[in-house]
Amino acid sequence: MVGIVIVSHSKQLAEGVRELAAQMVQGKVPLAVAAGIDDPENPLGTDAMQVYEAIASIYTDEGVIILMDLGSALMSAEMALEFLSQEHRDKVHLCEAPLVEGAIAAAVAAASGSNIQQVMAEARGALLAKATQLGVDMSHIQQETAHVSTSFVIEGQRTNDTGHVTKEIRLLVRNRLGLHARPAAKFVATAARFQSQIKVKNVTKNIEAVRADSINQVATLGVRQGHELVITATGSDADEALAALQALVESHFGEEETTLLPHYPTTSSLQHPISTSSHHFLQGIPASSGVAIAPVFLYCPTPIDIQQYHVDKIEEEWQGLQVAIQIAQEEIQALLSQASIQIGDAEAAIFDAHLLFLEDPVVLEAVHQRIFEQHLNAEAAWQAVVDELANHYRSIEDSYLQERVADVVDVGQRVLRLLTGFQSHIRISDHSPTHLHLCDPAILIATDLSPSDTARLDPTKVLGICTTSGSAICHSAIIARRLGIPVIVGLPTEILQVADNTLVALDGESGRVWIEPEPEIQTALEAKREAQQVAHQQALTTASSPAMTRDQKQISVFANIGGLSDTEEALILGAEGVGLFRTEFLYLERTTPPSEEEQLVVYQSIAQLLDHRPLIIRTLDVGGDKPIPYLNFPHETNPFLGWRGIRFCLDNPDIFKTQLRAILKASPGHQIKIMFPMIATVQEIQAAKAMLAEVQAELRQAGIPFDENMEVGIMVEIPSAVVLAEQLAAEVDFFSLGTNDLSQYIMAADRTHPRVATLVDAMHPAVLRMIQQTVQAAHKAGIWVGLCGELAADPLAATILLGLGLDEVSLNPQAIPEFKQAIAQLTMAEAEIIAASAMQQNSAAEVRELVRKL
């Protein structure tokens, strides 16, 4: 039977609602309450962990619906979903229905054996009876209720004043967080591809139609799971536009919530409460769990001082702004590439929304108007529009949207800094030489931290974060969770008075911070940290087993890493080796290439940690979306089609041979393999092998040992390599398919360009067929073939990849346990049938639908 969780700020209110609902159904329906907080002086509030426990207490496979009162109740409920496994999360639904009426209607429906969709529909329609009695028009709700069990499309058409036909569709949004930043970015990017004027309206919230090509307007619609949209398109390509938007919404924006939080709170970790009654602590909102004890680093960015004045040369002012925006775009692009290596493409996509902000026609028109009509200087005009927008987000009664203020401010400040030539928005602490680059491990304390700042943090140095603002669902918190850094937000401002270097302890699970903690607090927290680690290890025991189908076919599961810190985590999460070490990381954030010795230390340390498991080191894949300033790349019109990867390395033998020497020197006693990126031709692999042979000869002559049998492979990520797979296979020991690049090159769509993002989907049958072609050629030649693109981290792809005959996959470490689970449920024959059928589909959306139906 479907269960119901009631979330309220007031325990009494929640208990009352439960009593009413239980009475209606004679206690037949599982009802749980998560309400109030454990503070006798101020008991009103909500707590994500309580919501999580309430869900866990009544969970069955038939599902759970959560009804909430307001404000932070929604946030706590959303956060609680983060703690659930993917499988459970899919069956737990947040419902926007009114609390009292919704709970009663839902309970009655659940008691009659209705499924989760019907229970949701009943809850949403709960105001109908009351409204009818009071004579209020509720037709829009009736309509949704009637159609709620299916994603539906009602097509309509009318002609507008200009003679253009306006087409209309209605769609139901089903993905978990609705049109939050990333789906909103995809929605806007898709809409902007078309000539037609496209508008979108949130029917459920009765919010007026807005321009679909404005990220800010779309975001402020507050579209959540279960909301109904009406999209209209007027113009010559209206049909195509609506079809594209429909496909996007129905594919749930390509969202698969795969992330297993690295340090998510577990019930077992809760069994180690810290006795704190006699010790003073500051209470904040827990945003990323984990324990940290370290000295304080106080981070105080200096605000940029803006002067407002009259300008006559308005054209120059506008041009200056355009230049600043362009540089900001380049900076965000670089940040996005770095973040996608470090935290994965999915989380890094947060910065896609930043890029779209800079293209938002509504923002740009507003700034233009201030400069050209009011003769305001660019800084003041820009700041005024950004402030207005941020205030608009703040005023919306939607906690998720309120959290987007941080993104608006982040992008706004970036442009302002460039416009004013403001150099460093810096700290007051003196133990760091540069912006947020800490020399020693510390706990960072700040009023707030922007997503850009957070993405650049080094988790080995920043052991914890405390802020006075923010929330558990702000982008900075999401990024910090991905980096495994404990975070507490919303702390009292008292925390900002703590002097630099003071010892502080924090517990990211309870949201508590101790300043100069007593020895017993430190001991208790250390014990808790240990207990969490043990619990985490236990939860991952199945992840350390091989990925084996029911009929005992095994596929190797390796990890993609960017450095030493990822390796340890990867092993805990069940990696059987490293299938892709992106060495670009060694070259970033410095002014000269890393020396042979520096590289040797890193390669050896990782190999040592892997303890004879395979380590595939990919040689420098610079260029494209990974520009490295000191390598003096010329400006390129199409960097992805330019001087990239092996092309750059073959032209820079000094840099290339230094890396090859370091890899070879690290190889004795380990299972190191070398992999060349961006191979498009047979000549390139031959040239790369020739340079490798030169280095090997030099080492032999110098009597320096290396693994003479080291395997050499290539990334298959350019369509020509697929076509030439047979010839290339004769040159190497293995292939690894790079589907991130392969899909962008197959589709001729830049993988970092938000406007064409929906085209770059490795689930597309065109990409799947290329994978199959490569696997067949490799096996025919007797070499093994793996895949290291993000596709492997998509749980829906596991079946297909197995069925396509891959010998190995290498993925983001967090996705490993789930991948292994998916493999264990299949037989090889089943996987092959599914893969064959996937290749017959017409689109990536159809492939996903096929797998979902299984």
Which residues contact ligand PEP by CB under 6 A?
Answer: 580, 582, 621, 717, 738-741, 788-789
- φ/ψ of residue 631, rounded to 5: -85, 5
Q: Write the DSSP string, 570-600.
A: HHHTT-SSEEEEETHHHHSSSSSPPPHHHHH
Among residues 517 and 738, whose Cβ is nearest to ligand PEP? 738
Contact flag: residue 563 with Mg ion (CB under 5 A)? no
Minimum Å gap between C-beta 593 and ligand PEP is 18
In angstroms, give the least distance from the CB of 345 to ligand PEP: 8
**Residue 788 contact among ligand PEP, Mg ion, none, beta carbon within 5 to 8 Å by kind:** ligand PEP
∠388-393-396 over CA atoms, to 5°?
A: 125
Which one of 175-183, 435-443, 512-520, 715-723 is the stretch in contact with Mg ion (CB under 5 A)?
A: 715-723
Q: How far is the CB of 221 from ligand PEP (least distance, A)?
A: 33
363 — alpha (psi -120 to 50), left (phi > 0) or beta? alpha
DSSP state of 235: S
Residue nearer to Mg ion on the CB measure, 656 or 676? 676
Does 624 interact with Mg ion (rule: CB under 5 A)? no
Of positions 256, 684, 717, 818, contacts Mg ion by CB under 5 A: 717
790 touching Mg ion, by CB under 5 A: no
Q: Which is nearer to ligand PEP, 499 or 641 (CB)?
A: 641
Rg (CA), the chain: 28
CB of 442 to ligand PEP, least distance (A): 31
Best CA proximity match to 828, nearest among 787, 854, 799? 799
**Within a 10 A sphere around the Cβ of 520, how many other Cβ atoms?**
13
Query: Can you say how many angstroms the Cα of residue 844 is from the centroid of all Cα atoms in its chain?
Result: 20
Give the number of other CB atoms < 10 A from CB of residue 270: 17
Of the listed 95, 466, 474, 788, which one is catalytic? 788
CA-CA distances (angstroms) from residue 773 to 56, 345, 434, 742, 830?
Answer: 45, 26, 49, 13, 20
Per rule CB under 5 A, is residue 713 in the interface with Mg ion? no
DSSP state of 434: B
Residue 417 binding result from Mg ion, ligand PEP, none, given CB thresholds of 5 to 8 Å by partner type: none
What's the min distance (Å) between Cβ of 582 and Mg ion? 9
User: Binder to Mg ion among 168, 256, 684, 741 (CB under 5 A)?
Assistant: 741
Q: What count of residues does the chain have?
A: 854
Closer of 183 and 623 to Mg ion (Cβ): 623
Q: How far is the CB of 785 from ligand PEP (least distance, A)?
A: 14
User: Judged by CB under 5 A, does residue 347 bind Mg ion?
Assistant: no
Residue whose Cβ sits closest to Mg ion: 741
47 and 83 Cβ atoms separated by less than 8 Å? no
466 a catalytic residue: no
Nearer to ligand PEP, 578 or 580 (CB): 580
| 20 versus 748: smaller Cβ distance to ligand PEP | 748
Our CB check for ligand PEP shows the closer of 410 and 621 to be 621
d(CA 581, CA 587): 13
Q: Work out what residue 414 binds among ligand PEP, Mg ion, none; the CB cut-off runs from 5 to 8 Å by kind.
A: none
Binding-residue total with Mg ion (CB under 5 A): 3
Closest separation between CB of residue 200 and ligand PEP, Å? 32
Question: Per CB under 5 A, does 256 bind Mg ion?
Answer: no
Contact in structure between 805 and 814 (CB atoms under 8 Å): no
CB of 615 to Mg ion, least distance (A): 18
Active site includes 475? Answer: yes
The answer to whether 579 contacts Mg ion (rule: CB under 5 A) is: no
Rounded to an integer, what distance in angstroms lies between the CA atom of residue 32 and that of residue 544?
Answer: 35
The one catalytic residue among 9, 93, 354, 475: 475
**By the rule CB under 5 A, 625 interacts with Mg ion:** no
Q: Which of 144, 108, 86, 82 is nearest to 29 (CA)?
A: 108
Beta carbons within 10 angstroms of residue 447's beta carbon = 15
Residue facing ligand PEP at closest CB distance: 738
Q: Which residue in 183, 301, 579, 738 binds Mg ion (CB under 5 A)?
A: 738
Positions in 47-106 near Mg ion (CB under 5 A)? none
H/E run at residue 354: helix 350-359
* Alpha-carbon distance values, 290 to 389, 438, 530 (Å): 35, 20, 10
Q: Which residues contact 254 (CB under 8 A, 6 or more apart)?
A: 186, 248, 758, 761, 844, 848
**Residues of the shown chain interacting with Mg ion in the complex, contacts defined by CB under 5 A:** 717, 738, 741
Active site residues: 475, 788
